[in-house]
């Protein structure tokens, strides 16, 4: 898996703006979400400890809590979260953050992380018309051994496009995909998606995460439960920097699995805590005890 790259950081490190959902056919209905769909999916502008800026995506899971990728938080010191809703655009600062305690380089690839998930606490409540999404509690009719083929929705901000070109930045976009299964040999049981851009048989509205979608939600709907978050965008095989069109062929996406027990338990416990203003990191010590410790940068 050494070919996988960060969805947000690789592009940022080259000094460019981050990119977002890459789709098979950008004329597909529903590709652009507008300001009335997925209003709880926000754009994140962060500042690294080195002073460089980067773009990520996040999803509102409580009026003042946003879930995103761990690598959007681990080496950063400041974030601004922008919501786009029918009432307009609202940018809110961040008062604190929490990083999964098992966040670390994968044994199979030092370039991507396991348990790549984090929480951001907003300095004030999100807009009232921003949707608040549910995180999977593990009771979904979707199991580790039976995820392949399930259709999911992915949402992200930034530069979008397809194998024949690119679209402008700063727009919330969505695409569907099928789960290919679970990333084998990894403790966090990450979810894998794939898309064959060279195949004319791929549905028009199917696509894949790309650079800049880090932290973007993967939604799964069943019965009366719609837009339940089951995954968080972590990495992709689509090149982050290109001088020409996107590469064609099959590309993969990696998503942090939020219904994996260690991640689900951490999210439940961490969301109860309220970080002190200015607190940059909350560490959870002991997976069974899950005692919360605070540390200031």
Which CATH number goes with the domain that contains 44?
Answer: 2.40.10.10
Residue 49 pLDDT > 60, yes or no? yes
Q: 120 Cβ partners below 8 Å, 6+ apart? A: 44, 58, 65, 66, 67, 68, 73, 79, 81, 94, 96, 97
Q: Are residues 121 and 190 in the same domain?
A: no
Q: Are residues 190 and 218 in the same domain?
A: yes
The pLDDT value recorded for residue 159 is 64
127 vs 199, more confident: 127
Does residue 267 share a domain with residue 252?
A: no
Contact 81, 43 (CB under 8 A): yes
275 shares a domain with 243: no
The verdict on 192 and 205 lying in the same domain is yes
**pLDDT band per the 50, 70, 90 thresholds, residue 282:** very low
Instruction: Note whether residue 104 is domain-resident.
Output: yes
**By the 8 A CB rule, do 280 and 260 touch?**
no
Instruction: State the burial class of residue 149 (Cβ atoms within 10 Å of its Cβ: 0-12, 13-18, 19+).
Output: exposed
pLDDT at 273: 74
Assigned domain for 98 exists: yes
**39-53, 105-119, 165-179, 202-216 — which is least confidently predicted?**
165-179
Tell whether 150 and 238 lie within a shared domain: yes
In a shared domain, residues 188 and 199: yes
- For residues 192 and 281, membership in a common domain is answered with no
| Coil vs helix vs strand at 96 | strand
The pLDDT value given to residue 246: 56
108-123: pLDDT as tens digits = 776 788 999 999 999 9
Largest CA distance in the chain: 52
How far apart are the C-alpha atoms of 194 and 208, rounded to whole Å? 7
pLDDT single digits (tens) 285-296: 222 222 222 222
- In a domain, residue 22? The reply is no
**pLDDT range class, residue 247, cuts 50, 70, 90:** low
Are 127 and 266 within one domain?
yes
How many domains does the chain fold into?
2
Q: Do 161 and 220 belong to one domain?
A: yes
DSSP state of 206: B
Rg (alpha carbons) of the chain, rounded to whole number = 17
Mean pLDDT for 237-253 is: 66
Residue 191: give the domain boundaries: 144-257
Average pLDDT, the chain: 77
In a shared domain, residues 153 and 236: yes
Question: Has residue 13 been placed in a domain?
Answer: no
Query: Per the domain annotation, does 167 fall within a domain?
Result: yes
Does residue 11 belong to any structural domain of this protein?
no
Does residue 10 lie in a domain region? Answer: no
Distance (Å, whole) CA 12 – CA 240: 9
What's residue 168's pLDDT? 61
Provide, rounded to the nearest whole percent, the portion of the chain with pLDDT above 70.
Answer: 74
In this structure, the answer to whether residues 152 and 250 fall within a common structural domain is: yes
């Amino acid at each position: 898996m050494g070919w996988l790259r960060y969805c947000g950081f690789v592009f940022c490190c080259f000094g460019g703006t981050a990119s977002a959902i890459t789709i098979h056919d950008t004329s597909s209905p529903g590709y652009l979400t507008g300001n009335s769909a997925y209003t709880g999916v926000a754009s994140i502008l962060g500042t690294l400890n080195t002073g460089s800026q980067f773009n990520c995506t996040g999803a509102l899971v409580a009026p003042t809590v946003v879930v995103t990728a761990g690598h959007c938080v681990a080496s950063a010191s400041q974030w601004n979260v922008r919501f786009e809703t029918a009432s307009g655009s609202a940018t809110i600062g961040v008062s604190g953050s929490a990083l999964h305690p098992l966040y670390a380089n994968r044994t199979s690839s030092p370039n991507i992380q396991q348990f790549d998930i984090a929480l951001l606490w907003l300095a004030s409540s999100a807009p009232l018309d921003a949707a608040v999404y549910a995180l999977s509690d593990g009771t979904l009719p979707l199991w580790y051994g039976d995820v392949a083929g399930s259709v999911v929705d992915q949402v992200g901000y930034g530069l979008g496009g397809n194998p024949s070109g690119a679209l402008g930045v700063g727009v919330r976009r969505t695409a569907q995909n099928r789960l290919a299964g679970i990333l084998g040999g990894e403790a966090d049981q990450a979810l894998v998606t794939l898309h064959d851009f060279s195949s004319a048989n791929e549905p028009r509205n199917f696509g894949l995460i790309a650079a800049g979608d880090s932290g973007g939600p993967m939604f799964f709907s069943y019965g009366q439960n719609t837009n339940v978050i089951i995954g968080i965008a972590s990495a992709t095989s689509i090149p982050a920097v290109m001088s020409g069109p996107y590469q064609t062929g099959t590309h993969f996406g990696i998503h942090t699995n939020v219904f994996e027990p260690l991640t689900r338990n951490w999210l439940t416990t961490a969301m109860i805590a309220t970080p002190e203003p200015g607190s940059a990191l909350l560490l959870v010590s002991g997976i069974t005890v899950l005692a919360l410790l605070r540390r200031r940068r």
